[in-house]
């Protein structure tokens, strides 16, 4: 696993270009933000208004999520073209290079998907307008976590099995977070099922915006950012794999 230069955006893009070339994916700039080009990567199977949405790096200090998405793609490069993927591999490159949660102006990009949206979130919203996704995965890390956990927003029957399988995939690698409450929300065996009405419009996170407008199945993955980077990356890879095969 190549984790050298984990915080270098130029190096990240170089590896994504290699993956995209080998797999036959399109790598398209969708915005310029904080002096960096933000890219969307689309597979040939992602046609029309359906697909699978994955994003990472909206908080720049959560590099395990960014590297996890990349390593998952490199591991599965032969199959990427057959999956209906729409990827945003790093939404906050300035924050990643500076090891900062926030963007250059000090804002939290994961709270700017509602009334107070930024130029970046507005560009992505415009890009995916009128689209519906089978599945959405937002990859994150948590400084305070003592294990892995996830947020699960779902509609429909039998819709709560996937989150459990994602955490089961980590057995032997990372334990589940032991807390019973995270950010004042109840946790059940590592899974948080928030009530969408508890969010204010001007503090709307990416996952909830997408759940409200684009999907019936939205998951936010969290790994403990104080663990070894390679362990966290492997955990992210496992959860992506479990989500896509469950």
From first to last of its 246 residues, what are the pLDDT tens digits of the chain? 788 899 999 999 999 999 999 999 999 999 999 999 999 999 999 977 789 999 999 999 999 999 999 999 999 999 999 999 999 999 999 999 999 999 999 999 999 999 878 999 999 999 999 999 999 999 999 999 999 999 999 987 656 689 999 999 999 999 999 999 998 899 999 999 987 766 666 789 999 999 999 999 999 999 999 999 999 999 999 999 999 997
Contact partners, residue 10, CB within 8 Å, separation at least 6: none
Q: How far apart are CA 104 and CA 111, in angstroms?
A: 15
Domain 9-148+166-245 has CATH 3.40.630.10: yes
Domain ranges of the chain: 9-148+166-245
pTM of the model: 0.96
């Amino acid at each position: 696993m190549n984790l050298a230069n984990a915080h270098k955006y130029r190096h990240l893009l170089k590896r994504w270009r290699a993956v995209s070339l080998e797999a036959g994916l399109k790598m398209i700039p969708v915005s310029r933000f904080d002096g960096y080009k933000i890219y969307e990567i689309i597979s040939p199977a992602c046609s029309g208004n359906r697909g699978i949405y994955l994003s990472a790096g909206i908080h720049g200090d959560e590099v395990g999520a960014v590297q996890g998405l990349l390593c998952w793609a490199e591991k599965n490069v032969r199959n990427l073209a057959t999956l209906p993927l729409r990827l945003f591999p790093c939404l906050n490159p300035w924050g990643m290079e500076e090891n900062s949660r926030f963007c250059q102006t000090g804002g939290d990009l994961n709270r700017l998907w509602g009334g107070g949206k930024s130029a970046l979130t507005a560009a992505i919203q415009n890009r995916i307008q009128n689209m519906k996704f089978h599945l959405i995965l937002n990859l994150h890390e948590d400084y305070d976590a003592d294990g892995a956990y996830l947020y699960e927003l779902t509609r429909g029957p039998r819709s709560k099995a996937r989150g459990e399988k994602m955490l089961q995939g980590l057995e032997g690698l990372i334990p589940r977070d032991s807390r019973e409450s995270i950010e004042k929300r109840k946790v059940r065996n590592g899974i948080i099922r928030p009530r969408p009405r508890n969010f204010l419009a001007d503090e709307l996170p990416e996952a909830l915006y997408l759940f409200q407008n684009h999907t019936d199945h939205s998951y936010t993955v969290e790994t403990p950012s104080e663990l070894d980077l390679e362990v966290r990356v492997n955990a992210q890879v496992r959860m992506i794999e479990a989500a896509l095969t469950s």
